Structure 1
Amino acid sequence: MNEQVVELSVAGELAAARDVYARAVRRATTALATEALSDRELIATLKLGGQHARLCDALLVAAIEQVHARNDAPRDERLTTRLGAKDAAELVRAATLCSGKAARTLMSAAKLTRRDRSMTTGELLPGRFPQLAAALRDGVISAATFLAATKPLNNAITRISAEDLVEADAILAGYARGHGNTITVDDGVGDIGGDDASLGEDADSLDDTDSGASSAALPPLDADDLAALARRITAYADPDGAEPTEKRALARRGLTLGKPKDGLVPINGHLMPETASQLERLLSAIINPRSTKGDVNLDEEAAAAGSDEPAASSLSAADAATAEEAAEAELPPSPDERTSPQKRHDALAAILNLAAGAADAPTLGGAPPTLVVTISAEDFERQSGWAHLDGLDVRTSWHAAQRVACIGVIQRVIHVATGRIVGIHTTGRVFNAAQRRAIIARDRECVIPGCHTPAAWCEIHHVQDWALGGATHTDNGVLLCWFHHRTLGYNGWHIRMTDGLPQVRGPQWWDPHRRWHQVHTTLARAG
């Protein structure tokens, strides 16, 4: 009878609180919908909403602890069996109407916060992370934050001493509550992980106070920051733990090219951190290039182009700057409408093209990598249709294959309808190093207005197609980034050469009169 009274009183109290809170939420949502709240009230609403959500987590985790406890029994006596649920996860989902992911989060937290009873006294014993568990029960942190903070320590639990674990738990709980590190170095925190470690000092340094007092009030750390601090603590307490992690990473590293589908080839894999970091830096260098103004030695450019006079003698620095500013004012930059993933794809393509053309690039059978394009005799004569690239069961347009040939050696295999090979043409129509240096000295970057992809990441395009008699000469080559090289002609941009200098004509939205404009990077030199 007493248990039933307690049961009803707890449920009744929660139901009454729910009704009060529901009315408050309805009033708040109405005020938010009508924008009736001030900035201060809006932030207060966000904070209070977070506090209530954390208190709900505390309630649910405590209840799920009991679910786990009542399932520690023979099958017929388990709570789930008696209620007709398949398992505890199904019971939690059905009772709370939450997702499977949310249920797993709550159940994982409940397993870590659950405390066993003493066999002799019947008292509850401390759990593995008593301080953080108390913060969860008090609604200071959410179940997800609790798991994020305990995961690094839990993964290294067999390699961390009990003393270090207690101290780490206290440090994390202190920062979660906004107290900072309430245990000083003299209390032993500085000894965590060994004599050489100084976690206590480092943790204290996070207090942004002049006095340096560890008990000074601090804003509570959010889930991400608390997890980062937990990883840092674990690194001190378990300095050798990184080696097994690296071994696992080495075993899992890999890169896979999938089967072509809808004209694209999927890519999947896992990169080692140093490889991913290097790739990220290279991608950033192309996607977000620094301005090239002032970074180029014009005398070296003049020498590369074959001139005996310093480039500066034909145009003063001030005049060059004025000319460039005037040119840029005349040529408005074109907006880059590519998505971020598309930009990264194009940057990766530029990196691969540059690597393939390097002097010490790997060879295939003793020869540089050669792109083999297979095309029918009919399509070759019409210069249209589809071509097949070697290495992948995928086709590409004739024009795309032609542009690919601008950056490397191409072997064209021509066949008739029966499959018989009727011609093999191998062309090495790549601009040589001296020509490339001269074109770089002239153009500096992609010649399309508004595109500042540096010259190092650009390809050299034959303005008059090589297949139509265009020469591999500096007067017929311009710098284009991978994207503009692939879309030239059908994206509204066109290029021509006049007296050895590139001119561009943009789409109508860029220049309603469709006039030819000299590229701004060469205008300064021609002035």
Structure 2
Amino acid sequence: MNFPLGDLTAIVGVLGDLLAESLSMDAHRALGDEELMDAVRTAEHLGRWVDAARLTLAGEVGRRADSDFGDDRMTSRFGCGSAAELLERATLISGATARERLRQAKCITSRTTSTGGHRPAPLDRARAALAAGRLSSDALATVADVLRPIEARCTADDLALAETELVLAAVGDDTQAPCSIHELRIMATTWALYLDADGELPDEQHAERMRGVRLGRSRRGLRRFSGEVTDDVGAQLERLLDAHLNPRVQDRGPRFTGPGQSDEEDDEHILDPRTADQKRHDALGSILSAAAAAAETPTLGGAAPTLIVTVSADQLERADGVAFVDGPDGQAPVPASIARHVGCHGTIHRVTFGSDGAIKALTVTDRVFTHWQRKAVGARDAGCVIPGCRVRAAWCEVHHVIDHASGGPTDTSNGVLLCWHHHRTIETSGWDIRMGAGVPQVRPPAWVDPQRNWRCANRVLHRELERARSA
């Protein structure tokens, strides 16, 4: 990139005006499909030139901010504490973007040795391909993330060979087309395993050192959940989520259409309005509820690690009532519906306070279904009774059809299986549940069935067999 900075500024100005005029006139809407794809590829190629300029210039900023410059460091001259802060202020990008840009730029930035000699960039072949507009910043990051951690344990020749092959795979040539980022990552990982066959221990030590999970404070009813888990923990969590969310894994058997039943009543036609992220969240809620009730789970204070929700009697029955859950910063307010959800399948402790705040009485109401009752209800329902839901019995909660507070017994004739999501939203989702001759029946909301007809709950194999015989 041997051109004056003034020329670069002028080029960007002219190109920016042309692009802004073209996009403002909606010229792209008149393009045919093939022309649109050509335009997408052209814009991406243009973006690679821009990325190359960004990283090259960011690398020079990082070099001049190095401690080798002493008091003449660029950051000192501009009153910034780091190169990332300088980039952030100059470009108005986020701090995270500035740090990532500097991290990638280190791979393509050459250095001057203490004797005045020239030291090439760590990934000099990738730098050349990037400068030529052929290598994307994503491809650069993929190669760097795999090769840089092992460079101290490999010879320079081996690393150069791996870098050459990976860059060639990413940009392609006359004999082969460029590979995707996914394919490039697999190839890079393969090279790393080949060059650093004994490198598992350092990686394992890094994973053990960096692992962690963080729970943030409650804000508007949500708490930020973040962190990094080891590969085995991540894989186990993925398997559990897949067990909840994969309909192929959870298919309960063949489907039959019985007498008087139309195809429109098929469970498969009932759409789930939740996003994929929301489904994973609700599956995690089911997993945590099941884990808390498991016999193998360690106890807290002699009891299972139970979610504690407190609510006053007058707030409990209100649609806009407020309850409180225990959190790291004390009690956090939540809707009273959460208290009703928890109380439906848990033990209730009713505490009576005097006017001075002293405890006057404590009444414990155990409304938890026994192990054998859960087994029986699970055998009958096989899973969540809401049609279309695929959550299996082992991950469901037992719901009182007639609320315990209204006189509903904790008995199999009054209990049905609901997944964490449907149990928590049963009051607001529009689904109604009743028992008919000991068998649960459900009534869909109007958006599912405008007639709101009562129907059998989610289909179970032995009941389907009877329908097939009747048909």
Question: TM-score normalized by structure 1?
Answer: 0.70
**Is the partner of 2:416 in helix, strand or coil?**
strand
Which of the numbers 169, 174, 187 marks the counterpart of 1:175? 169
Match of 2:445 in 1: 507
Which of the numbers 400, 414, 418 marks the counterpart of 2:356? 418
Match of 2:200 in 1: 242
2:337 counterpart of 1:343: no
In 2: Cα distance, 1:334 partner to 1:292 partner: 16
**Is the partner of 2:389 in helix, strand or coil?**
coil
CA distances 1:365-415 after superposition (whole Å, capped 9, x unpaired): 444455655454666899995554556613555553343234343433333
CA distances 1:489-518 after superposition (whole Å, capped 9, x unpaired): 333222111211222223333333444333
Match of 2:154 in 1: 160
In 2: Cα distance, 1:117 partner to 1:388 partner: 61
Match of 1:459 in 2: 397
CA separation of 1:367 and 1:16: change in aligned 2, threshold 3 A: closer
**For structure 1, which segment, 231-240 or 160-169, has the greater mean C-alpha deviation from structure 2 after superposition?**
231-240
Which of the numbers 242, 248, 256 marks the counterpart of 1:321? 256
Match of 1:141 in 2: 135
Which of the numbers 471, 479, 483 marks the counterpart of 2:421? 483
In 1: Cα distance, 2:157 partner to 2:427 partner: 70
**Is the partner of 2:258 in helix, strand or coil?**
helix
Determine if contact 2:110/2:121 at 8 Å carries over to the other structure: yes
In 2: Cα distance, 1:12 partner to 1:388 partner: 61
Task: Measure how far apart 1:62 and its partner are.
Answer: 6.1
In 1: Cα distance, 2:99 partner to 2:111 partner: 21
In 1: Cα distance, 2:73 partner to 2:458 partner: 78
Determine if contact 1:374/1:412 at 8 Å carries over to the other structure: no
CA separation of 1:245 and 1:416: change in aligned 2, threshold 3 A: farther
In 2: Cα distance, 1:407 partner to 1:342 partner: 23
Match of 1:41 in 2: 35
2:123 counterpart of 1:129: yes
Number of paired residues?
458
Which of the numbers 425, 428, 431 marks the counterpart of 1:493? 431
Which of the numbers 398, 407, 411 marks the counterpart of 1:469? 407
In 2: Cα distance, 1:396 partner to 1:53 partner: 46
In 1: Cα distance, 2:120 partner to 2:100 partner: 21
Match of 1:364 in 2: 300
Task: Measure how far apart 1:461 and its partner are.
Answer: 1.0
2:229 counterpart of 1:271: yes
Task: Measure how far apart 1:12 and its partner are.
Answer: 9.1
In 2: Cα distance, 1:422 partner to 1:156 partner: 67
Q: Which amino acid aligns with 1:37?
A: L
Determine if contact 1:413/1:421 at 8 Å carries over to the other structure: yes
Determine if contact 2:285/2:420 at 8 Å carries over to the other structure: yes
2:375 counterpart of 1:409: no
**For structure 1, which segment, 382-391 or 404-413, has the greater mean C-alpha deviation from structure 2 after superposition?**
382-391
Determine if contact 1:105/1:143 at 8 Å carries over to the other structure: no
In 1: Cα distance, 2:266 partner to 2:22 partner: 52
Alignment of 1:384-463 (within 5 A): 385-389=321-325, 393-396=331-334, 399-463=337-401
Q: Which amino acid aligns with 2:146?
A: P
CA separation of 1:445 and 1:34: change in aligned 2, threshold 3 A: same
Determine if contact 2:311/2:324 at 8 Å carries over to the other structure: yes
In 2: Cα distance, 1:416 partner to 1:40 partner: 77
Q: Which runs of 5+ in 1 are unaligned?
A: 1-6, 180-215, 296-316
Task: Measure how far apart 1:452 and its partner are.
Answer: 2.7
Determine if contact 2:250/2:391 at 8 Å carries over to the other structure: no
Q: Which amino acid aligns with 2:35?
A: E
CA separation of 1:75 and 1:424: change in aligned 2, threshold 3 A: closer
In 2: Cα distance, 1:428 partner to 1:227 partner: 54
Match of 2:456 in 1: 518
Match of 1:303 in 2: none
Which of the numbers 175, 187, 197 marks the counterpart of 1:229? 187
Determine if contact 2:139/2:170 at 8 Å carries over to the other structure: no
**Is the partner of 1:235 in helix, strand or coil?**
helix
In 1: Cα distance, 2:105 partner to 2:281 partner: 44
Q: Which amino acid aligns with 1:519?
A: A
Q: Which amino acid aligns with 2:257?
A: T
CA separation of 1:415 and 1:395: change in aligned 2, threshold 3 A: farther
**Larger radius of gyration between Structure 1 and Structure 2:** 1
CA separation of 1:236 and 1:105: change in aligned 2, threshold 3 A: same
Question: TM-score normalized by structure 2?
Answer: 0.77
CA separation of 1:424 and 1:389: change in aligned 2, threshold 3 A: farther
CA distances 1:437-465 after superposition (whole Å, capped 9, x unpaired): 33223222222223232222221111112
Alignment of 1:295-314 (within 5 A): 295=253
Determine if contact 1:371/1:389 at 8 Å carries over to the other structure: yes
In 2: Cα distance, 1:382 partner to 1:415 partner: 21
2:217 counterpart of 1:282: no
CA RMSD of aligned residues (A): 4.4
Which of the numbers 257, 274, 288 marks the counterpart of 1:352? 288
Q: Which has the higher strand share?
A: 2
Q: Which amino acid aligns with 1:218?
A: Q
Determine if contact 1:176/1:221 at 8 Å carries over to the other structure: yes
Which of the numbers 48, 51, 62 marks the counterpart of 1:54? 48
- Percent of paired sites with the same residue: 39
CA distances 1:466-497 after superposition (whole Å, capped 9, x unpaired): 22222222221111111221222333222111
CA separation of 1:267 and 1:513: change in aligned 2, threshold 3 A: same
2:211 counterpart of 1:253: yes
Q: Which amino acid aligns with 2:278?
A: Q
CA distances 1:128-155 after superposition (whole Å, capped 9, x unpaired): 3332232223322145543442343223
In 1: Cα distance, 2:323 partner to 2:278 partner: 23
